[in-house]
């Protein structure tokens, strides 16, 4: 039996208003829910990105040693679902060279018509400041003089017009502990660099000659790529070419300002610090504050000449002696007088003549005080 449904009655005006009001409220609820869901999705996406960024920042801080109160850490890759493993750097327990104060007296010009310099590269673990960990420094020794126990390389001295013969051994024996290719570049020479300043491997030797035509205080350094790494690891030094007719003085001293960028204790220097120009130590002649603790002794009224070289590799020097004025200066071929401070860009050098008129202690320093606080300071003691 079939049934016939009656057609629905038309709603009254009151019923229509009630239906419209209910639909409006329902639509408002749906809109609120949609907005809430959209907000939750947006927050979830932001939180995910923030979590990733935060993880990257934390890993970076851990890797650079910023977290952990300056202690260097090594961050290892996470295993399959495992936690991140963080290990502290292992302290260096190997041998460290004993400190010995380099004699600041300028070496004599070698005998003979041809001035011969037998140069040996050595890589050694030493300290460059009493309050810093040991570091591996790459240095040059010259004619049997090695400044072990510091980061200094030996200065070389000739007279203007001398013929100079260079013979460089990149580690003449296993005692030099050479692990890397090296070279040597002389700013005092006029030669084709690709032929003379060749990079050689460990145990190899390179030789060349040149005439020292120009007077001045010139830099020598390793020119092997990356040059910043080699020079920032210690491979820099001074060659003095004395001009003809230079007036005699009572004392001649050498001062090479140099930066040190310490990496892992006992390990090689830190390239990131070099690129950021943030040295741990800036020192004269290879060791921070050494001539402040053991001043250079002279007599009041004696004529003093200091040959200064800023070997860098990156920080300027402002050489100043407290308590005197430089009577005469010769910097990069320019002669001056009555000077308080000598400014030297990296690789620049020159000499200053002065006296200390009365007994006392006369500090010398880089007047760039940030570098002075890192070790670029010493003293003369006039008796």
Is residue 156 included in any domain, yes or no?
yes
CA-closest candidate to residue 143, choices 237, 222, 76: 237
Question: b/e map of 44-81 (b: 16 or more CB within 10 Å)?
Answer: eeeeeeeeeeeeeeeeeebeeeeeeeeeebebeeeeee
Asked, as a colleague might, if the bond just before 256 is cis with ω within 30 of 0, I would say no
Which stretch of DSSP H or E encloses residue 363?
Answer: strand 360-366
Task: Looking at the structure, tell me whether residues 164 and 30 fall in a common domain.
Answer: no
Is residue 269 included in any domain, yes or no?
yes
Is residue 98 included in any domain, yes or no?
no
Tokens matching residue 292: 């402040």
Task: Looking at the structure, tell me whether residues 292 and 372 fall in a common domain.
Answer: yes
Task: Looking at the structure, tell me whether residues 55 and 128 fall in a common domain.
Answer: no
How much is the pLDDT for 89? 63
Domain end marker among 89, 123, 143: 89
How much is the pLDDT for 47? 43
Task: Looking at the structure, tell me whether residues 225 and 175 fall in a common domain.
Answer: yes
How much is the pLDDT for 30? 42
Tokens matching residue 114: 């041809």
Is residue 179 included in any domain, yes or no?
yes
In order, the DSSP letters of 169-196 are ES-SSGGG---S-B--EETT--S-HHHH
The total number of structural domains in the chain stands at 2
How much is the pLDDT for 109? 98
Task: Looking at the structure, tell me whether residues 78 and 141 fall in a common domain.
Answer: no
CB 239 within 8 A of CB 220: yes
Task: Looking at the structure, tell me whether residues 29 and 125 fall in a common domain.
Answer: no
Is residue 6 included in any domain, yes or no?
no
How much is the pLDDT for 36? 45
CA-closest candidate to residue 324, choices 291, 301, 360, 357: 357
Task: Looking at the structure, tell me whether residues 64 and 124 fall in a common domain.
Answer: no
- Residues whose CB falls within 8 Å of the CB of residue 194, separated by 6 or more in sequence, listed in order: none
Task: Looking at the structure, tell me whether residues 28 and 138 fall in a common domain.
Answer: no
Tell me how far apart the alpha carbons of residues 378 and 365 are, in angstroms, rounded to a whole number. Answer: 6
Task: Looking at the structure, tell me whether residues 122 and 74 fall in a common domain.
Answer: no
24: containing domain? 14-89
CA distances from 351 to 185, 309, 317, 345, 375 (A): 22, 9, 14, 14, 21
Task: Looking at the structure, tell me whether residues 83 and 173 fall in a common domain.
Answer: no
Per-residue pLDDT of the chain (383 residues; tens, 9 = 90+): 434 344 444 444 455 445 445 444 544 444 454 444 444 444 444 344 444 444 444 334 444 443 333 333 333 333 333 433 444 667 899 999 999 999 999 999 999 999 999 999 999 999 999 999 999 999 999 999 999 999 999 999 999 999 999 999 999 999 999 999 999 999 999 999 999 999 999 999 999 999 999 999 999 999 999 999 999 999 999 999 999 999 999 999 999 999 999 999 999 999 999 999 999 999 999 999 999 999 999 999 999 999 999 999 999 999 999 999 999 999 999 999 999 999 999 999 999 999 999 999 999 999 999 999 999 999 999 99
Tell me how far apart the alpha carbons of residues 44 and 109 are, in angstroms, rounded to a whole number. Answer: 75
Domain end marker among 72, 89, 106: 89
- Cα angle: 228, vertex 233, 238; to 5 degrees: 85
CATH of the domain at 292: 2.60.40.420
CA-closest candidate to residue 353, choices 210, 212, 243: 243
Helical residues (DSSP H) of the chain, grouped into ranges: 13-64, 193-196, 227-232, 271-276, 290-293, 369-372
């Amino acid at each position: 039996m079939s049934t016939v449904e009656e057609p629905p009655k038309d709603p009254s005006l009151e019923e229509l208003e009630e239906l419209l009001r209910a639909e409006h409220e329902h639509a408002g609820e749906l809109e609120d829910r949609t907005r809430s869901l959209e907000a939750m999705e947006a927050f979830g996406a932001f939180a995910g990105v923030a979590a990733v960024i935060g993880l990257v920042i934390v890993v970076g801080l851990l890797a650079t040693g910023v977290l952990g109160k300056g202690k260097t850490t090594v961050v290892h890759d996470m295993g399959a679902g495992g936690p991140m493993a963080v290990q502290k750097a292992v302290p260096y327990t190997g041998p460290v060279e004993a400190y010995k104060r380099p004699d600041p007296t300028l070496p004599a010009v070698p005998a003979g018509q041809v001035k011969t310099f037998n140069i040996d590269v050595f890589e050694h673990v030493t300290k460059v400041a009493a309050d810093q960990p040991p570091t591996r420094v790459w240095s040059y020794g010259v004619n049997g003089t090695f400044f072990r126990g510091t980061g200094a390389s030996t200065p070389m001295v000739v007279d203007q017009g001398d013929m100079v013969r260079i013979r460089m051994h990149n580690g003449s024996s296993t005692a030099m502990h050479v692990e890397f290719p090296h070279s040597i570049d002389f700013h005092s020479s006029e030669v084709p660099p690709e032929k003379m300043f060749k990079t050689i491997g460990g145990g190899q030797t390179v030789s060349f000659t040149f005439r020292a035509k120009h007077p001045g205080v010139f830099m020598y350094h390793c020119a092997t790529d990356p040059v910043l790494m080699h020079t920032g690891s210690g491979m820099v030094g001074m060659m003095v070419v004395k001009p003809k007719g230079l007036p005699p003085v009572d004392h001649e001293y050498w001062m090479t300002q140099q930066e040190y960028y310490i990496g892992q204790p006992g390990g090689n220097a830190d390239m990131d610090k070099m690129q950021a120009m943030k040295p741990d130590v800036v020192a004269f002649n290879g060791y921070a504050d050494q001539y402040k603790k053991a001043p250079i002794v002279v007599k009041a009224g004696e004529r003093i000449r200091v040959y200064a070289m800023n070997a860098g590799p990156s920080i300027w020097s402002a050489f100043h002696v407290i308590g005197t004025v430089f009577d005469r200066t010769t910097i990069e071929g320019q002669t001056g007088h009555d000077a308080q401070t000598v400014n030297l860009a990296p690789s620049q050098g020159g000499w200053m003549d002065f006296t200390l008129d009365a007994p006392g202690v006369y500090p010398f320093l880089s007047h760039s005080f940030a570098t002075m606080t890192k070790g670029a300071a010493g003293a003369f003691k006039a008796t």
